[in-house]
Structure 1
Amino acid sequence: MTKKVIISILGGAGMMGQGIIRDLLSDRTIIEIAELRMFDSDRKRMAALRAELDDARLTAHDLDVSDPRALARALAGSDVCINSVPTLAGHQMAIFEAALGAGVDYVDLGGLGTYTVKQLQWQERFRQAGVVAVLGVGADPGMSNVICRAVADELDEVDSINLYWAATLTGPENPVLVPPYSVSTVLAEYAHPCLQFLDGRHVECAPQTGVETIDLPEPWGRCEFMYSIHSEQLTVPLADGIREKGIKEFTWKLHLPHREHEAWVGLVKAGFGDYDRTVEVNGVAVRPLDVLNAVIQRNIAENQDRIPSQQSHEIHFAIGRGRVGGKPATARCQVIVRPNAMYAGYVDAATSMNASIAVQLMLSEPRRPGVYAPEAYFNATSYFREAEKRHFDITMTRQIA
């Protein structure tokens, strides 16, 4: 692509937004960027990031995302809108619709399934308008969807694909609870029912069910996985090139580090899973989520000196079972993200970098207007080539009986 592009990133001063910006402005990029417009309501964090990166292409702009006119102005003239505003802030569909209205291509970091299903119903509107939208382009969802595509491509017939994500921390135990991502997302994963694709149909499963123990290499070791609310199971088994292969089962399962897992289970037991329904405290109606967020952030700020140096290790893998040439076959695609000096400054390098990869591939390859999940839009080979530049360790194996 020879054209220099203009990118608008909404929620750009947030944890994920800052990481996406870092990667887009790195020497790994395969596109020419004329301007990267960062929109947020936090002027202090925007100013700090601009000062740190010291790149003239990065500009900062105030934005009240709840103001439709301000939202339209933010997108005007852009080639793509990156929506990194937290899903549960409630603006997902408004930003999605604004991108269509502005004729601007769109990506987001996922909608916990609920919004993703709604957005996919806009396929024809986006196609007719000549606009591309790819939904859930982080690590999970995002790279995880592409992993599933790679597995399905290895099989002539698909009976099942089971997708897993596990994180672990090495180093001294942390006496302070530091959420791996937004508190609302973690609570939703632990407290809300989820849909899994079982026996050829979507079935609602209770939270923290589907428990499965798998032995993984160190430093993960023996991991206990559970069903969790996510979007991959709502899109992958219905995708072109996968659905036709006869898939009857698709599941997504989560494993967080043991101590952190216990903390979130305890919070759900205490009632924080119902985080949006207000409670009355001294005559004031408050959301449990707001209280929990405030307490966690205060605790982190006041105990910075007690937070030890830890290193995060992630493993993402999908196992597909089916047939090749009529013979039983198993395909496995695995991505390991180990600590690396490249990830300094990132809160969640895997999510941010994968979002950046998705945007760059969208802008550098032929466009296909419409609304897509990642497994329906990206080619696994070109995607993994970019992932490997970021030191993601990718392996693909297939066994035929």
Structure 2
Amino acid sequence: MKKKAIIAILGGAGMMGQGIIRDLLSDRTIIDIAEVRLFDTNRERMAALREQLDDSRLTLHDLDVADPAALARSLAGADICINSVPTLAGFQMDIFGAALAAGVDYVDLGGLGTYTVKQLEWQERFRQAGVVAVLGVGADPGMSNVICRAVADELDEVDSINLYWAATLTGKENPVLVPPYSVSTVLAEYAHPCLQFLDGRHVECQPQTGIEVIDLPQPWGRCEFMYSIHSEQLTVPLADGIRQKGIKEFTWKLHLPNREHEAWVGLVKAGFGDFDRTVDINGTAVRPLDVLNAVINRNIAEKQDQIPEQQSHEIHFAIGRGRKGGKAATARCEVLVRPNEMYEGYVDAATSMNASIAVQLMLSETRRPGVYAPEAYFDVKSYFREAEKRKFAITLTTDMA
């Protein structure tokens, strides 16, 4: 009988971590789970989640990831480590290295490009140790990488793949700024230079550039997309089976809801884009990120009664251009994530559910030791089958010129 899995999730009391746990312990799972070990510093949020889920397989553990010995203990006996600690907290490589040392398979929610490149350099170390690591397994990156693979597989020759993500909110205007994910990640997307793959090489582009306006179906409508820091453009054009098809261009562009977009632009204008460099306040060195996080969290807590019911709509799509059978062709893969009662209790169902999908596929299918981006590891059909179980609407089309 196959061994039941023991899963360790670090930072599991955060927004994404809680969602990953919800999906792992749902009736959608395709693996047998003995235990999900939740490691975090926030005992109150951990306890609240266990009370909500009422599942004896969920166990709670305090963890300071800055303590190497405690980090090593957190992985002992686990089959896989889910790193849900915010990338810019600064522990990405520490956790990655600890998983290798413990011989425990590993996933994370993305390294914003810089960490992803560093992690991929450990390919041979992981392969020799018989350990698997798949990097960036949420929605973007994660599912987005897989749809790029689907597009590339439709074409014999690839000139370009352009990847987009747009979110919009319907309902009454929210007077409270609620971040879509980690504040540091959003600020990095709006304030930091990024690499895009242009003319067959990686080129540094300034933040909030590469503006492109696309008319999408309602409720998105006309969307203005921009370049932003991400990992897909650093891995997809170099992936086996895509690189050999001659790809010369790969870009990733973002669109957040209009009013929220304005807020993040304003915060960057005010200087919060440089969020790690301390400022002196009455003789005390303070990080702008810590202040901003504290203010945003306090504002959300104090104004809960003012936050209206809103519904989130997401569209993820990749457009590949090239040739098929010697003729010009355009392949498009699109994933729609519309409101669904299945997503109740999730802050970001797409990110957390996709991370859960990745973990389950890794634990249920033949292992391939090494370090991979999602487009290089997952089978498209298997992945899409699990995504559709979670009510993500997927279409893949190819148009011949």
| TM > 0.5 fold call | yes
Residue aligning to 1:168: 168
Q: The residue matched to 1:363 in structure 2 has which SS? A: helix
Q: The residue matched to 2:247 in structure 1 has which SS? A: coil
- Partners in 2 of 1:290 and 1:137 — Cα distance? 26
Residue aligning to 2:233: 233
Q: How does 1:2-401 map to 2 (within 5 A)?
A: 2-401=2-401
Deviation, structure 1 residue 263: 0.7
- Partners in 2 of 1:6 and 1:183 — Cα distance? 30
Q: Which amino acid is the alignment partner of residue 69 of structure 1? A: A
- Partners in 1 of 2:253 and 2:2 — Cα distance? 41
Q: The residue matched to 2:23 in structure 1 has which SS? A: helix
Deviation, structure 1 residue 318: 0.1
Q: Which amino acid is the alignment partner of residue 107 of structure 1? A: V
Q: Name the TM-score, length of structure 2 as normaliser.
A: 0.99
Deviation, structure 1 residue 61: 0.7
Q: Which amino acid is the alignment partner of residue 159 of structure 1? A: D
Q: The residue matched to 1:367 in structure 2 has which SS? A: coil
Q: Which amino acid is the alignment partner of residue 27 of structure 1? A: D
Q: Which amino acid is the alignment partner of residue 268 of structure 2? A: V
RMSD across aligned C-alpha pairs, in angstroms? 0.7
Deviation, structure 1 residue 2: 2.7
- Partners in 1 of 2:13 and 2:275 — Cα distance? 24
Moved >3 Å (runs of 4+) = none
- Partners in 2 of 1:342 and 1:325 — Cα distance? 41
Q: Which amino acid is the alignment partner of residue 240 of structure 2? A: D
Q: Name the TM-score, length of structure 1 as normaliser.
A: 0.99
Deviation, structure 1 residue 44: 1.1
- Partners in 2 of 1:304 and 1:5 — Cα distance? 38
Unaligned runs of 5+ in 1: none
Deviation, structure 1 residue 294: 1.0
**1:216-256 deviation per Cα after TM superposition (whole angstroms, max 9, x unaligned):** 00000000000000000000000000000000000000000
Q: Which amino acid is the alignment partner of residue 120 of structure 1? A: L
- Partners in 2 of 1:338 and 1:128 — Cα distance? 42
- Partners in 2 of 1:193 and 1:336 — Cα distance? 28
Deviation, structure 1 residue 280: 1.1
- Partners in 1 of 2:152 and 2:366 — Cα distance? 23
Report the identity percentage: 87
- Partners in 1 of 2:32 and 2:273 — Cα distance? 44
Unaligned runs of 5+ in 2: none
- Partners in 1 of 2:240 and 2:162 — Cα distance? 18
Q: Which amino acid is the alignment partner of residue 139 of structure 1? A: A
- Partners in 1 of 2:66 and 2:284 — Cα distance? 24
- Partners in 1 of 2:306 and 2:36 — Cα distance? 36
Deviation, structure 1 residue 306: 1.1
Q: The residue matched to 2:209 in structure 1 has which SS? A: coil
Greater alpha carbon shift after TM alignment, 16-25 vs 298-307: 298-307
Q: The residue matched to 2:159 in structure 1 has which SS? A: strand
Q: The residue matched to 2:214 in structure 1 has which SS? A: strand
Greater alpha carbon shift after TM alignment, 18-27 vs 63-72: 63-72
- Partners in 2 of 1:247 and 1:359 — Cα distance? 29
Q: Which amino acid is the alignment partner of residue 87 of structure 2? A: T
How many residues of Structure 1 are paired with residues of Structure 2 in the alignment?
A: 401
Q: Which amino acid is the alignment partner of residue 49 of structure 1? A: L
- Partners in 2 of 1:123 and 1:386 — Cα distance? 27
Q: Which amino acid is the alignment partner of residue 302 of structure 1? A: E
**1:307-351 deviation per Cα after TM superposition (whole angstroms, max 9, x unaligned):** 111000000000000000110000000000000000000010000
Q: The residue matched to 1:226 in structure 2 has which SS? A: strand
Greater alpha carbon shift after TM alignment, 290-299 vs 253-262: 290-299
- Partners in 2 of 1:292 and 1:335 — Cα distance? 33
Deviation, structure 1 residue 305: 1.2
- Partners in 1 of 2:79 and 2:228 — Cα distance? 34
Q: Which amino acid is the alignment partner of residue 258 of structure 2? A: H
Q: Which amino acid is the alignment partner of residue 114 of structure 2? A: T
Deviation, structure 1 residue 51: 1.2
Q: The residue matched to 2:295 in structure 1 has which SS? A: helix
- Partners in 2 of 1:238 and 1:165 — Cα distance? 21
Q: The residue matched to 1:13 in structure 2 has which SS? A: coil
Deviation, structure 1 residue 3: 2.1
